[in-house]
Amino acid sequence: MADFEFLQNPISKKWIIFSPRRAQRPDIANGIEPVCPFCPGKEANEREVYRIGGEKNDNNWKIRIIPNKFPFAPIHEVIIHSPDHDKNFAELPLPQVELILKTYRDRFKTHEKKGQVYIFHNRQKGGGESLPHPHTQLAVVPSHISLDLPRLAAPQEMAVATNGQIFKETSHFVIFCPHTSQWPDETWIAPKERGRAFGEIKDREISDLAFTLSRLIQILDLRHGNEFPFNFYIYPGGDWYLRIIPRVKVLGGFEVGTGIFVNTQDPKETIMFIKEHFENPNEEKIKSFHQASYHRGI
């Protein structure tokens, strides 16, 4: 049996991926956690498709990419953020976060002509993380498969889409929480220079994005507690953006059954909270956060 199969409902025309083999993967949500396969010392155990730092099979690396052993797409890669088993975006030094984002860009450009390049990150069990060593996944979905993802408003739609919207701007990005957010504290990061695929992001934008993403996760950690569950993804089409989805609620029967989400958090309040802490974060809380990370052995 193949590892996966794309199936389309003949009535609704919606797609699913049939992948029984993925039920065999290690999953911390089910209490199945092996000795970490992503930590240094395991390099020879997995075929490596890309790395930054060191030589083949040694442990002197900064980032590694290996094929997903339980794929659900023709190309499905695991991007291991660093040798550190515990540090992630909010704790890693900014140069390492920049390196992660540059790796995203490089792998996007490597695969962009092969299909729809979908880059996504899961954190914690509530965010669908199956192994706790920080990593991101990249899946290339065939071009004929329709992805049901929101897009950015086109320039001619902006007046309607942003009516009453509150923004936070950086040098190269706009941070906002859409009126139609599906999740409490859902946050989007969109480049000011529009109409490009993610592979066209410039180095100076990556530096800005590294700081912005790290700071937003720190702020949301302050709001929801350290290591709250979330996902983010990078829109795979043109006119890219990054969407952070805190997984701080459980979907109810109405939402699952109808596909209509009930958002109990005012997006305006979320962006005001972000603006309050973005430039002048509560240093004592941030300091306490990092001290707690240190004492946990991060």
Task: Catalogue all structural domains in the chain, each as residue range(s) with its CATH number.
Answer: 26-295 (3.30.428.10)
Which residue, chain included where needed, has tokens 């930590």? 39
| Residue 222: half-sphere exposure toward Cβ, Cα within 13 Å | 20
pLDDT of residue 227: 80
pLDDT of residue 226: 77
pLDDT of residue 292: 40
Collapsed DSSP state (helix, strand, coil) of residue 239 = coil
Inter-residue contact 206 to 98 (CB < 8 Å) = yes
Distance CA 22, CA 200 (A): 33
Distance CA 181, CA 165 (A): 12
If one compares 215 and 29, the residue with the highest pLDDT of the two is 215
Q: What is the pTM of this model?
A: 0.91
For the stretch 64-105, pLDDT in tens is: 999 999 999 999 999 999 999 999 999 999 999 999 999 999
If one compares 282 and 91, the residue with the highest pLDDT of the two is 91
If one compares 26 and 126, the residue with the highest pLDDT of the two is 126
Tell me the one-letter amino acid at 120.
Answer: F
* Weakest mean pLDDT among 82-91, 108-117, 214-223, 276-285: 276-285
Distance CA 220, CA 277 (A): 10
Diameter of the chain measured on Cα atoms: 56
